[in-house]
Amino acid sequence: MIKKFKDLPTNYKSALVIFIALVLWIASGIFKSDSNIATVETTEAEKIISVRATDVVAEDKIYYLTIRGRTEAENKVIMRPKTTSTILETLDKGQAVKKGDVVCTLDPEDRNARLDEAIANEKQAQLKFDAIESLAKDGYRSDNAVASAEAVLKGAIARREIAENAVNNTKLKAPFDGFVEDINVKVGDLISPSQMCGSVIQLDPMIVTGEVTEKNITQIIPQQKVNIELLNGKVIEGQISYISKSSNSATRTYKIEATFENKDGLIREGVTATVKAPLQKLKAHLIPSYLLSLNDFGDLGVKIVENNIVRFVNIQIIEDVSEGIWVIGLPEKTKIITVGQEYVIGGQTVNVQTVES
């Protein structure tokens, strides 16, 4: 075979060598191409990201309108005297009082003596009137005499009432059950009607005041039951007692008030509170807040998986609680990505490992 090759003409030898080299070059290209294809397939396989997801199911959830506000005493009165005199006695600040308890006592001076005199004059006028009336029935006194005696009696009664009022005005009494919020005078001070002796507040019931936007004010109903949550986490039941008919010109909001019981008086005025008014029942999901993300348009949503394909779903937050956030907008039964959501985008194929919530 080799001898025959040597016997071939030179041009045939050259052509044969070129042919063999060409065949070898083509063959090497095929093998290299097959190797590249295998590498690309391996790379594409490596690009499929694995994520973890949890199956979540919608629950019945009442949607609340949340109104920020603060507590206020339903009644607060500033106590001023109707007369001028010297302070004899006062209650202490913070003391509980019942309706009619004396908060500030003024010196009656000669008012008691005037009252005694008025009472005596009334009794005398009453005796005269009774005697003249009796005689008139027997025909010994005229009708004019009876009328004159009656006028004197009524005058005596009026003077007695004036004297009683003068004495009563020396005692400033609580108009309702409550607490002495402040005392502004000391024993021995001279006080007049233009000065304040003290103030009394009523802490049961109490109210929470807040502001509602013009968009939501139509959703609030008078006497509607509401939940009132205090800053310490305590929740109290109350009801809407007032809805303003005019808005605040600066904020375009409407004032509302919710009334609640405070029998023990432990809830103070000025405490931050949140009124939650139930509006409607919805199907919602409770999810951790860290699962929220934004798409390229700035929309708020979460990433779910359907048939190993990632989907970005817009959601709306309806309530933020300690366990997470309640949202609407997701399918009733869905598989939400819990680990790896920051590395995938909508439309991407992923490997899914389902874990229990």
Cis upstream peptide for 205 (omega within 30°):
yes
Q: Considering the chain, what is the average pLDDT of its residues? A: 86
Per CATH, 66-71+198-279 and 82-191 having the same topology is answered no
| Alpha-carbon distance values, 241 to 207, 328, 338 (Å) | 9, 31, 44
Name the CATH topology of 49-61+282-354. 2.40.420
Residue range 159-177: mean pLDDT, rounded: 94
Q: Where are the domains of the chain?
A: 2-39, 49-61+282-354, 66-71+198-279, 82-191
Cβ contact 352:49 at 8 Å: no
State the pLDDT at residue 184. Answer: 93
> Under a CB-based contact definition with an 8 Å cutoff, are residues 210 and 190 in contact?
no
Q: Tokens 């007695």: give the residue.
A: 160
**For residue 162, what pLDDT is reported?**
95
Q: Is the pLDDT at 31 greater than 80, yes or no?
A: no
- What is the model's pLDDT at position 298? 86
Query: Would you state the pLDDT for residue 25?
Result: 65
H or E element in which residue 209 lies: strand 198-213
Per-residue DSSP letter, 91: P
pLDDT of residue 101: 94
pLDDT at 345: 86
DSSP code, position 240 = E
Q: 178-183 and 96-97: which strand pairing?
A: antiparallel
Q: What tokens does 214 get?
A: 């013009």
Range 25-40 average pLDDT: 53
Section 29-46 average pLDDT = 49
* Predicted confidence band of residue 87 (pLDDT cuts 50, 70, 90): very high
139: tokens are: 């025909």
| Domain 82-191, architecture per CATH | Beta Barrel (2.40)
Local structure of residue 340 (DSSP, 8 states) = S
Q: Which of residues 262 and 42 earns the better pLDDT score?
A: 262
Burial class of 300 by CB neighbour count within 10 A (0 to 12, 13 to 18, 19+): middle
Report the SS3 class of residue 17.
Answer: helix
User: Looking at residue 352, what is its pLDDT?
Assistant: 86
Q: Which residue has the higher pLDDT, 201 or 281?
A: 201
Question: How does residue 20 score in pLDDT terms, banded at 50, 70 and 90?
Answer: confident
Residue 136 and residue 140: Cα distance in Å, rounded?
5
Q: What was the pLDDT predicted at 347? A: 87
Neighbours of 14 (CB within 10 A): 11
Give residue 38's pLDDT.
Answer: 45
CB 167 within 8 A of CB 159: no
At the second CATH level, the architecture of 66-71+198-279 is: Beta Barrel (2.40)
CA distance 153 to 118: 11
- The C-alpha atoms of residue 286 and residue 43 are separated, in whole angstroms, by 38
| Percent share of the chain, pLDDT over 90 | 50
For strands 350-354 and 49-57, give the pairing: parallel
Structure tokens at 226: 């509401």
Tell me the pLDDT band of 150, cut-offs 50, 70 and 90.
very high
pLDDT at 115 over 70: yes
Q: What is the pLDDT of residue 40?
A: 45
Q: Which amino acid is at 300?
A: L
Helices (H), 48-103: none
pLDDT value for 45: 47
Examine the pLDDT at 29 and tell me if it is beyond 70. no
